[in-house]
Amino acid sequence: MGLLFDIFINPFVEMASGLDFLLQVLWEGFVSGTLYALIALGFVLIFKASGVFNFAQGIMVVFAALTLVGLHALGIPAFLALILAVAIMALLAVTVERVVLRHLVNQPDIILFMVTIGLTYFLIGFGELVFGGDPKSMITEELGLPTGSTVFDVFDGIVILQHLDVAAAVISAIMVAGLAVFFNKTRIGRALRAVADDHQAALSVGISLNQIWAIVWFAAGIVALTTGIMWGAKSDVSFALQIVALKALPVLILGGFTSIPGAIVGGLIIGMGEKLFEVYWGGLLGGGVEGWFAYVIALIFLLFRPQGLFGEKIIERV
Amino acid sequence: MLKKLAIGAAALAMLGAAQVSTAQAEDTIFIPSLTYRTGPFSGGGTPFANGFADYMNMLNARDGGIGGAKIVLEECETAYNAQKGVECYEATKGKGALVYNPLSTGITLQLIPKAPVDEIPVLSMGYGLSAAAVGEKFPWTFTYPTSYWSQMTSILKYIDDNGGLSGKKIGFIYLDLGYGREPIPLLEQLAPQMGFELAMFPVAGKEMQNQSSHWLNVRKENPDWMIMWGWGAMNPTAIKEAAKIRFPLDRFIGNWWSGAHADLNPVGEAGKGYLAANFSGIGTDFPALQDVIKHVIEPGNTQTDPGDVGNVLYNRGLFNAVIVAEAVRAAQAATGKVAVTGADMRVGLETFNLSEERLAELGLAGFTAPIQGSCADHEGQGSIFIQQWNGSDWERVSDLITPMTDVVGPMLQAAADQYVSDKPDWQTQTCG
């Protein structure tokens, strides 16, 4: 009886009796959700273009952030370092396309997936060789990102809004919206969808597969750089940051691997859901539950929509 | 042409044989160094490995080694991965390894059963299995200068001396691995005894840089003090999150793996006030450190960035090397041999005496608390001190704090008994 009370009554009593804290939890969940959506977007872009889960997305986050910080450490002004980091991500995209992907057109997806695993380990080794393994500080203030916080007195309590979190949410939202428009409303976006459907058919109507792949890898690189800046500012810039990319997996399961709106909505559901569960129900299970609870949320949704919230429903007729 | 090649090959082979025999003629001691300069924890592993290597190289350059034996140091990269650590052990033990410093609780736990079989001691300096402090049950494992449990009692004493412990709520945030969970049995036993309430916040490895939920829970629980058993990227993230929820940082204490320059440099001014335990000196104002700079850093025989010399983890790695070197000297004195073996090294680790006088002779006066090697006590019951981040550097803010040996001793004994209880062939020893 006590357990049922702790599961079904007590958490809601806690929510009602501490509305300021509930607001804080929802805000933190929203910020995390936008960042998860951003990470997931990097995966979605490449999956849409090539049908491949890009295992290297996590290390691209680290590599992009380290490039930015490393260039700044050489004395290059922050904004110039940012531009150069973007250029290096473009170079990486072109190199991946020229050296690797071009030779694997129309190969089974598993081959391309294995290639992204190889690319991951190459970037880990190359990154450690160039930048070393020491954790580095993100150049938050130099990039003009706000620091500090604002405290709001609400419901007889306080809600603390970190300016960096506000910036992270706004920038993530702009990035997600911009990429959604770019890939849904432009010619390149249509070409991207054609490539995703069938490589050979896309080639036959004059779409340059190589160009599309380079563009999506570059876009994924930009997403990685943005993620690296935001997450690096919240923590530090080290190779451990690649683990953060794993947070995208339940988002992708929930939102669908091919849907940009799915990544957004999935990110928000996972972000807010895991925070609520961790804070109000986590204690019943000893805490530290948000890591796996994200997958529980995703699996519950999959029971009703196996293709994910916005994934394409595949009907194969015999 | 073929004849010329054959003659050349034979000449090279003879030259090689001559070089090998020269090397064998020289007394050497082989010390493997399990490092992690790569992987998610390399930020802590690299300065530690540098401090260890630089001190050994300094002894070679300044003194020609230890007691006439040249030190052969071989690094093996583990990436803080227990499986790779065991591979490193297997790959190097046959080369005459004197002692293993695993630099990872996970690797230590794997090596503890191997040590008596291969007769190579394990020195898990301030980490690993706390119960290994009981020398009679663990003849081949050492945790000098102290264990996690002893350290925790010193931290609790510090809290007790700064506002009292009874009636307070203590939050414990930890990396949810063997290392982080190690002090939980002690905390659970001491909480009712000392009258404090315990709130625990486990952080999974993949959530190290994503701790907002954990700190929301801290805000909800509202503890009076927080204690952290973190490592790597978990540390700066936790301190930033603590500052974010406005938890008073001068009531937030990290253990000795949560208080390095690598942890606080990314936090900077926002981490001002944060406290951490330590047992090795900070800075380069020690003659031994100056010798390292003179003989190793300035000539460039190092992987160390000169700015890192004297930092917390660099000095801790150096201190690890000091204990090993002193144990080698003790082993040489006990056996009369120059090139000692792993079995001799075990004797050295039980007999070395790092007294205040000896620390001064080594150029490390005031660097750490004295340690006396012992058969029965493999942790040394060393003291710690508390340091505080001033926004740009660490400052020592307490005297040495001794552990509650009366509390920890019986618990260590019980844990050691428990460990060996289901191992009928476990090797023990009787200390006089």
Question: What's the DSSP call for residue B308?
Answer: G
Q: Predicted confidence band at B17 (pLDDT cuts at 50, 70, 90)?
A: very low
Are A175 and A40 a contacting pair, CB within 8 Å?
no
Chain B residues 61-80 with a CB less than 8 Å from chain A = none
pLDDT in tens, chain A (318 residues): 788 888 889 999 999 999 999 999 999 999 999 888 888 888 888 887 777 888 999 999 999 999 999 999 999 999 999 999 999 999 999 999 899 888 887 788 888 889 999 999 999 989 988 988 778 889 999 999 998 899 999 988 899 999 999 999 899 888 888 887 887 888 888 888 788 777 788 888 888 888 888 998 999 999 999 999 998 988 888 888 888 888 888 998 888 888 888 888 899 999 999 999 999 998 888 777 887 888 888 888 888 888 777 766 666 666
CA distance B375 to B348: 10
Q: How many beta carbons lie within 10 A of that of residue A56, not counting itself?
A: 27
Residue A124 to residues A119, A127, A238: CA-CA distances in angstroms? 9, 5, 11
Domain B28-146+284-374 has CATH 3.40.50.2300: yes
Residue of B nearest to A235 (CA): B237
**Length of chain A as a residue count:** 318
CA distance B55 to B31: 13
Residue of A nearest to B232 (CA): A240
Are B59 and B18 a contacting pair, CB within 8 Å?
no
Are A157 and A13 a contacting pair, CB within 8 Å?
no
pLDDT of residue A83: 97
Q: Write out chain A residues lying below 8 Å of B37, CB-based.
A: 128, 133
Q: Same topology for domains B28-146+284-374 and B149-278+386-405, yes or no?
A: yes
Residue B26 to residues B71, B74, B131: CA-CA distances in angstroms? 11, 17, 39
pLDDT of residue B21: 38
Our CA-based measurement puts residue B373 at a distance from the nearest CA of chain A, in whole angstroms, of 34
CA distance B376 to B2: 66
Q: Dump strand ranges (E) for B83-235.
A: 122-123, 141-142, 169-175, 197-203, 225-229
Residue B415 pLDDT more than 90? yes
Q: Write out chain A residues lying below 8 Å of B236, CB-based.
A: 135, 235-236
Interface confidence: ipTM more than 0.90: no
Are B256 and B182 a contacting pair, CB within 8 Å?
no
pLDDT of residue A307: 77
What pairing do the DSSP bridges indicate for beta strands A157-162 and A149-154? antiparallel
Transcribe B13-59 into DSSP letters: HHHHHHHHHHHHHS-EEEEEEEE-SSSTTHHHHHHHHHHHHHHHHHH
Residue B26 pLDDT more than 80? no
Are A65 and A237 a contacting pair, CB within 8 Å?
yes
Task: For residues B330-341, give the mean pLDDT.
Answer: 96
**Which of A66, A134, A136, A230 is best to mutate for the B interface (most B CBs within 10 A)?**
A134
Q: Predicted confidence band at B135 (pLDDT cuts at 50, 70, 90)?
A: very high
Residue B169 pLDDT more than 80? yes
Our CA-based measurement puts residue A203 at a distance from the nearest CA of chain B, in whole angstroms, of 41
Residue B122 pLDDT more than 70? yes
Q: How many beta carbons lie within 10 A of that of residue B104, not counting itself?
A: 28
**Which of B35, B172, B210 is best to mutate for the A interface (most A CBs within 10 A)?**
B210
3-class SS shares of chain B: helix, strand, coil, % to 5: 50, 15, 35
Strand partners, A136: A237
**Alpha-carbon torsion angle A171, A176, A177, A180, nearest 10:** 160
Asked if A240 lies within 8 A of B232 by C-beta distance, the reply is yes
Q: Write out chain A residues lying below 8 Å of B244, CB-based.
A: 149, 160, 162
For chain B, domain boundaries: 28-146+284-374, 149-278+386-405
User: What CATH number has the domain spanning B149-278+386-405?
Assistant: 3.40.50.2300
Q: Which amino acid is at A88?
A: I
Q: Write out chain B residues lying below 8 Å of A234, CB-based.
A: 209, 237, 240
Our CA-based measurement puts residue B183 at a distance from the nearest CA of chain A, in whole angstroms, of 16
CA distance B56 to B50: 10
Q: Which amino acid is at B24?
A: Q
Our CA-based measurement puts residue B332 at a distance from the nearest CA of chain A, in whole angstroms, of 37
pLDDT of residue B25: 45
* Environment class of A182 (CB within 10 Å of its CB; exposed 0-12, middle 13-18, buried 19+): middle
Q: CB pairs below 8 Å between A and B: how many? A: 125
Q: Between A236, A278, A291, which is nearest B233 by CB? A: A236
Q: Predicted confidence band at B318 (pLDDT cuts at 50, 70, 90)?
A: very high
Decide which of B183 and A194 is more confident.
B183
Contact of B220 with chain A, judged by CB distance below 8 Å, is answered with yes
Asked if A239 lies within 8 A of B207 by C-beta distance, the reply is no
Are A266 and A254 a contacting pair, CB within 8 Å?
yes
What average pLDDT does the structure give for chain B?
A: 91
Asked if A235 lies within 8 A of B219 by C-beta distance, the reply is no
pLDDT of residue B1: 47
Peptide bond into B145 cis (omega under 30): yes
pLDDT of residue B11: 52
For chain A, domain boundaries: 2-42+50-249
